[in-house]
Structure 1
Amino acid sequence: MSRVALFSQDPARGWLPWVWLSPILLVLFNAVPVVAMDGWMQARGWSTPGGDPVGLAGLHALLWIGFAPTLLAVLAWVRWVERRSLASIGLVGTKPQKMFLCGLGIGFATIMLVVCAIWAAGGMQATGIGPAWRSPSGLLQIALLLPAFAFQSSVEEIIFRGWLLSTLARRSNVVVAVLLVSLTFALLHYSPQQPLRVVASSVLFSLFACALVLRTGNVWGAMGWHAGWNWLLATGFELPVTGIDTHLPALLVALRPHGGDVLTGGAQGPEGSVLCSVFFILAIAWMAIHRERRAATDGKRHA
């Protein structure tokens, strides 16, 4: 498989980093702002010494302030070093709002599917139906988290599945690009003593998102999907999202883990469940098969 411009044929008029350097740059784009702001965040009581958010104020600070410098750094790199257009990193398409909203709906549906599968397998017990609807302050906080998660998720999709994926594909090929993006994504979501199944889930999460952007030809849908997945998981069931608990009343059903961590996901939440990994594997396989069939059909039409 040869080098390819994934989202746009717009040329890079500047310098594209080497394959081995691109993931390192992304790690630095993420790590430098975190290290620089760590003391400041702790001084305001927004994060622990380990970097975990404290309360809703800390979560908002993480989602808004924590991700903004990384986005600005990547966009500045694209503009001034690679000298590429935004279209070339996946911000392309005639109806971005529609594609984002469609992805948002898919995100809602897919995380509900995963949570319901764990529930049906005996990994969850319901303790209440929609307690958030009896808490106006809870509903307000849940609503405020939607744009926050949308921003955080969009930044991750732009930098991982937009910039890094397109840069690596131009320097190597799509397969190498997808694998390196997914490994880098898992590395930046890794924490000490994290079980192997959680690491595998992070890799599969990224593989699914890569498959989604390759299917749609842009990052808008993946941005919406990631936002819908994170927000509903964080607010819909009183369950952790990527190990973070919002401590808000459930928007849909209050659930409590029941059983082993392999099924429930443990402290990681449903994303750490083996059933979540099964979902990603099946979804990736379906998109890959559909992509091959579409390519075969297009080949016959041009024959």
Structure 2
Amino acid sequence: MRFFRFYLVLFGADVLLGWLAWIMALPITHGLEYPLWSLRGASASALSDIVVFGGLSALVAFRVVHAERRRFVDVGLRGPGQFREFARGYALGLAWAVCALAVAVAAGWTAVNGSVRLSTLLAFAPLWMVVNAFQAGVEEVIFRGWLLPLLVRRHQLCTAILVQAVLFACLHLLVDANTTLAVLHALIFGAFAGLYVHRRQSIWGVIGIHGAYNFAAIPVISLATGGQYGPTGWHYAAIALTGAGVAVLLALSRWCRRRR
């Protein structure tokens, strides 16, 4: 249960770092909420992610290097073709997010209103891409790079994947904007990411998927709701597509085991 105690440390650190990030962002936001496609909103969000996820990555690195006596790259960051894995995952993540929006629009769950200018979205896109890749990378290092292998050593694969997915979703309860549906989305994505990493034996691909997913959510939110967090219809479609991905990966794993 040592891993769970450290998870609680990370959970508490997330709370404290989030509070610290809010204090540091006060000179920018003056306590008000700004959309991510405004200068104040983008700056405050980037600062918050750097503080929170930078702090969490430092804690994980300290544990891996000093407590576990391993190199930091041992948490799924080694192996050939890292850039190729990341690029493939990023393309898959973007396609997934766009397909989810298309399904949501086709089903009548949401609508594209175009209330935010495309030029504005493109202006902030490079910042979002970098920040979201960093954020996703830290989360993948924690849950799929560090935690999942520890669980696999002690439990069956399905149990290990389920446990890390639940803990991944629980961490998302700390995000003020996250709805119950978004936390459920995180749970299903956690299961998919665990299976994907187990199959690819590297976290670079799922860092790309996760980073692209989070990046694409920002323009999706702006185009489909004009800024209100959600949109609910997109989450419905994304959960369905991610669940389909879990089913496909499970079927592939069983097929591969039978062929051995």
Determine if contact 1:29/1:70 at 8 Å carries over to the other structure.
Answer: yes
Report the alpha carbon displacement of residue 49 of structure 1 after superposing the two structures with TM.
Answer: 9.1
Say whether 1:201 aligns with 2:185.
yes
Tell me the residue number matched to 2:249: 287
Task: Determine which of 55, 71, 96 is the counterpart of 2:41.
Answer: 55
CA distance in 1, matches of 2:213, 2:253: 23
Tell me how far apart the structure 1 counterparts of residues 9 and 55 of structure 2 sit (CA, whole Å): 14
1:270–1:276 CA contact under 8 A, matched in 2: no
Shift of residue 280, structure 1, vs aligned partner: 1.6
In structure 2, give the amino acid aligned to 1:76.
F
SS at match of 2:173: coil
Q: Tell me, yes or no, if structure 1 residue 141 matches structure 2 residue 101.
A: no
8 Å Cα contact 2:21-2:48 kept in structure 1: no
Tell me which protein shows more helix as a share of its residues.
Answer: 2
Matched to 1:232, the amino acid is: A
- Which whole-Å CA distance do the structure 2 matches of 1:289 and 1:187 have between them? 27
Map of 1:216 onto structure 2: 200
Which runs of at least 4 in structure 1 moved beyond 6 Å after TM superposition? none
**What is the alpha-carbon distance in structure 2 between the residues aligned to residue 210 and residue 85 of structure 1?**
21
Q: 8 Å contact 1:182–1:206 — kept in the other structure?
A: yes
Provide closer, same or farther for how the CA distance between residues 186 and 144 of structure 1 changes in structure 2, counting only shifts above 3 A.
Answer: same
Please list the CA deviations of residues 147-183 of structure 1 after superposition, one character each: whole Å capped at 9, or x if unmatched: 1111111111111111121222234443332222111
- The residue number in structure 2 matching 1:41 is 25
Aligned to 1:125: 111
When normalised by structure 2's length, the TM-score is 0.85
Structure 2 distance, partners of 1:49, 1:31, is 20
State the Cα distance separating 1:230 from its structure 2 match.
1.1
Matches within 5 A, 1:70-89: 70-89=56-75
Larger Rg: 1
Instruction: Show structure 1 runs of 5+ residues with no match.
Output: 1-16, 241-253, 258-265
Q: Which amino acid aligns with 2:201?
A: G
Residue 161 (structure 2) aligns with: 178
* SS of residue paired to 1:127: coil
Measured in 1, the distance between the counterparts of 2:234 and 2:111 equals 17
Provide Cα deviations, 1:131-150, integer angstroms capped at 9, x if missing partner.
42xx3x65332222211111
Q: Which residue of 2 aligns with 1:273?
A: 235
TM-score by length of 1: 0.74
| Worse-superposed segment, 97-106 or 17-26 | 17-26
In structure 2, the partner of 1:5 is none
Q: What percent identity do the matched residue pairs reach?
A: 22
CA contact (8 A) 1:26 1:164 kept: no
Alignment-mate amino acid for residue 276 of structure 1: A
Residues 26-45 of structure 1: CA distance to partner in whole angstroms, max 9, x if unpaired? 32343343344443333x23
